[in-house]
Structures are given as C-alpha cells and as structure tokens.
Amino acid sequence: MPATATRTFNPLPFEHLEPKRFEDLVRQLAYDFRTWRQLEATGRGGADDGFDARGFEIVANADSVSSRDDEDDSEAHVADRIWLIQCKREKTITPRKLHAHLEAIPVESRQQLYGMLFVAACDFSKAARDAYRFWCAHNDLAECHIWGKAELEDLLYQPKNDNLLFAYFGLSLKIRRQSISTNLRRITTVKRKLRRVLTDRTRAQFVLVRDVSDLRYPVMDTATLEEGNHLWRIYQMPEIGVRGLRIIVRKHKAYIDPNTGFWDLASGINEGVPTDYANIWQADEVSPLEREKRHAEFEIWNLIPLQNQFYLTFYNEVPYDEILEVDDIGDNVSDLATIFVNFRNGLPPFSEKQQIIAAHAFSPSEKVEIAREDHRRLFPDTVRDLAWEDDWAARNQFDLRAKTLDIVLEPPEWLKELQGQESGHNQETDDTGNAVEI
C-alpha cells in the first residue's frame, strides 16, 4: 500500500528561547495549573533560593478561609499553599543531573513547600521521573509534577493557550484554522463561477488561461505564443476536477494493441491545441514543415488497423487555490471565459500529477489502460516531437526509445481499393490495348 502524505508541525524549538523568556512561558502556562493568590516571577531578580517562580495557592476550605469582615488580608494568606516552580532550558537532563538540580535547592526553602513543579525543555526518561518523585517524597512534599517537552507542547496546542503559542513561536492554530476556512470559501466561490461558465454550452468547449502580469495581451508579436513567451493560452474541454480545473494539454494519435498492451504515440502533432475560431492566436497558414508532418502522420495512421487506432489525451489540473479570479464575461478580443493565474516557467501552474486517457478513435467510450513497460516504438521520427518526448519521458522516469515494435503495417483493403481506383484514373490504353501512364 503506498504511503500517504501527512501534514504536521515540527517540534517546538524551546531551546531557542532565551532562559528568562522560557521562565516567562512556563509561568504563563502555570496560571491555570492552580488557583493562585499570587504567582511571582522570582527568578528574574537573581538570588532566588531555587525559585524561578513562586506560587501561593488559595486553599478553599472552611478552616483556612476567613471572613472578609473579621479577618485582615494578611491573615488569610497564612493558609496558602506554597509552590516552587523551577525551569531548566536544557537539551538533556539525566537522573543524576536532575538529582543535582534538586539538591541545589536550599534546605530552608524546601521546608515551607507544599508542592513543586519542575519544568525543562527536554524529554525525561522514566528513571528521571521516578528519581524526581522519590526526592519529593523524601522531602515531604505533598504534590510533585514534572513537565517535559511533550507536556509543554500538549499545553501549548490547547485552544486556550493559542495566544502563547503565537507570542513565543509565531504559530497559531486558530489563525491556521481561520486561514483554511477562508481558503475553502474562496475555492467554493471559484468552483461556482467555473460551473456557471461550463454549463453554458456555447462557451464550454474552450477556456483562456491568462497571467494578468503580461501587459502585452492580446498582442502577439511573434509567430507563436510559445516563441514570445506570451503568458496566455487557450485550452479545450475544461472540467471541474476534485482538486482543480482539468484541461486538455495534449492529444495525440496512438497505436494500442488491447491484447498485448503494446502502445506508441505520434507526438509530432498536438491535436489538443485549439485550431479553429476559438484560438485567434493560432497561425492562419500551416507551415510547409507542419504540412509535411501532418501528411506523413495521416499516411501512417491509415495503415494502422481500425481496432488499434486510439487517441492519448493528456489532462493537467490547475489547482483551485492557484486560480486568482474567473472572468466569465470575456472582452472584445475573445469572448472565452478567462482564468487568471500566475504562470510559472512560461506555463500555467499545473499540478505535478498528469492523467493520460487512452480512448478508441471511433468509440471514445472504449478506454484501455497503458503501462510504461509496454511501450514499443512504432511511429517514425518524422511524426514525432523528439524534444518534448525526451523531456516528458525524463520527468516520468522511462525511456521512449528503448524498445521497438516489429510489425509490418499493410494498407487495409479499402485503401488498396482506393489506390487502385486512383491508379486507374491516371492510366490510358494505347492502340494495342496496353495501359500507359498519363
């Protein structure tokens, strides 16, 4: 089963925080740890007697809480539980090192403690945690807690602490969720606009994909759009896909044997490029080289048995989040719906995944699967675009020149009959009755 890509966050870099800032973070996370009367940042002033932070926990019971009318505030503080919070911004703390940190707490400071919270920017082993609890029990502490890197991340990823996550690390899950929600709303808006365009049968066959930064539009100052690196293209048969707008980028005549799986394509003529009225930037006249290539392809195509005549159609997707705007009005040059995007390397920002559909030339509903290992070279170089083939094969990690298909293409009966008729029209008989060429 193929691996599934997942998105996650890297571990939070606590070690990059300045020591005092790490103490501030821990103290602010500890505000909800207990109900404090006071939580003091004792570690900032130096000579802290082992207290990086000291907390006075309010004890809510009848024996310790005095009436506000009869007691002074200072007397109410007598029953507060004193907590020691110690912070260590270290990469590793072994059980021995942890014991040394604990023993560095003055004895007189330990005697007044109710509980202790030890926090470090590293992970603690089970042995270290056991050693910590043993030390706390030996020093008569009623409660002891230890926060390692994992506990700190758990606290910071809670919604109530999202402000601290953003303040100390520039990361906000709330903002991220809002961003995702905003992006989803934008994508659904784009899809609704595309659907309105594609349901209009008079305009649904073609779409203009354009980079708004190319101010030369609509003027083409070279023979083709590609030569001048013009940043607009016309594509046909747009569809609303799962992740983006699906469009045909290439379409080629192909030979496919459904029995053996062997296949090849004539890549020289891209029938996926609109050539009719919709593409006003297409050359009006076909060049002699193009005409020769089309003629050669047509001749070979007629030699291929009908059951082996297929089309390979290449679909690419423009991801919805790459679509800046959909203009369903058009302009006085082209009334096609316009998809505004940012081009990359002279092309629309297509997703990496490309789909190839092999359909029978005369029965498009008849589709077959092709595999790279079944490719056999059949068409001659005269009907190929070798530069495109080499680039495409390299990106898809296989060789289109490795194997050849050894078959003899014979003209079908209808073509032989037609050729015979044409030959007869070009002949006359002499006085002896013999045929002579005209």
Q: What is the pLDDT of residues 150-204, one digit of tens each?
A: 999 999 999 899 899 999 998 888 877 777 788 889 999 999 999 988 887 666 6
Three-state DSSP class for residue 91: coil
Q: For the chain, give percent helix, strand, coil, nearest 5.
A: 35, 20, 45
Q: Where are the alpha helices (DSSP H) in 142-279?
A: 149-156, 162-169, 173-198
215-243 pLDDT tens trace: 999 998 888 888 888 999 999 888 999 99
* Torsion sign across C-alpha atoms 25, 26, 30, 32: positive
> What's the confidence (pLDDT) of residue 435?
47
| Mean pLDDT, residues 266-271 | 92
234 within 8 A of 183, measured Cβ to Cβ: no
Measured N-to-C along each axis, helices 162-169 and 149-156 cross at an angle, to the nearest 10 degrees, of 120
Residue 121 has pLDDT above 50, yes or no: yes
Q: What is the DSSP-derived secondary structure letter of residue 347?
A: B
Residues 438 and 428: their CA atoms lie apart, in Å, by 7
pLDDT band at 428 (very low <50, low <70, confident <90, very high): low
For the chain, residues classed under CATH 3.40.1350 are 14-169
| Per-residue pLDDT at 103 exceeds 60 | yes
Mean pLDDT taken over the chain: 85
Residue 68 binned pLDDT confidence (cut-offs 50, 70, 90)? very low
Instruction: In whole angstroms, give the CA distance from residue 172 to residue 175.
Output: 5
The pLDDT of residue 436 is above 50: no
14-169 belongs to CATH 3.40.50: no
pLDDT score of 327 more than 60: yes
Q: Cα 235 to chain center, whole Å?
A: 23
- Cβ atoms of 333 and 280 within 8 Å: the answer is yes
pLDDT given for residue 421 in this prediction: 61
In this prediction, residue 76 carries a pLDDT of 45
Per DSSP bridges, beta strands 53-57 and 81-88 are antiparallel
- Whether residue 66 has pLDDT greater than 60: no
Which residues does 195 contact at the CB level (< 8 Å), separation at least 6? 240
Is the pLDDT at 74 greater than 50? The verdict is no
CB 37 within 8 A of CB 59: no
Name the burial class of residue 126, with classes exposed (0-12), middle (13-18) and buried (19+) by CB atoms within 10 angstroms of its CB.
exposed
pLDDT in tens, 83-102: 999 999 999 999 999 999 99
Reported as type and span, the H/E element at residue 28 is: helix 19-29
Cα–Cα distance between 358 and 255 in angstroms, integer? 10
If one compares 275 and 438, the residue with the highest pLDDT of the two is 275
